[in-house]
Amino acid sequence: EDLKTQGIIMILYFIPTIIIFALVFIPGFRDQFLSSASSLILPYVGEKQTSLFFAYLTFYGMFYVISIGFNLFSRLFYREKGVIMIPSEYVVTDRGIIVDKKTPLKFPLKGDIHLNESRKFVEIIVDSPQPGMQKVRYRFYTQQVKKLYEILRGQLEKA
């Protein structure tokens, strides 16, 4: 369920791109928008060229505003729920966890830990290393869930 909602948010990132491609590469849509915007602006500026210029500014500014809107929406969602990271491989050492051979998580970790025995994963919720960013939820799937949970619980400080 968590991954489903995260996937929907990721799909929402592509909507502005699809709209841009439709409006830019299908001339009928673009021309219709520009002529409508130009005719709405013309009474305020008085010149056809100036109204067309402002119509183009509106046209391309609209994409920026739509993209920013989707970005803010996704940030609010991720700030509340956190981004779920499911590593394909990880190594737990005495100094920390190496996630996907590239991301180190040094002990002691500051965050929360959850155990889900039925789905066989341990989840660690830590704040992002970058200030002002959202929480990151690392899900570590394993056959030895309780053993991993005990190891990580001893290396975790409550946030």
> Residue 129's pLDDT is what?
62
> Residue 128's pLDDT is what?
67
State both tokens at 40.
């709405």
Q: Where does residue 82 rank: exposed (0-12), middle (13-18), buried (19+ CB within 10 A)?
A: buried
- Indicate yes or no: pTM above 0.85: no
Place of tokens 């200030």: 131
Cα dist from 111 to 66, 140, 159, whole Å: 34, 15, 5
What are the mean pLDDT values of the chain's consecutive 10-residue runs (159 residues total)?
74 77 81 89 91 90 83 74 85 91 87 92 81 78 93 82
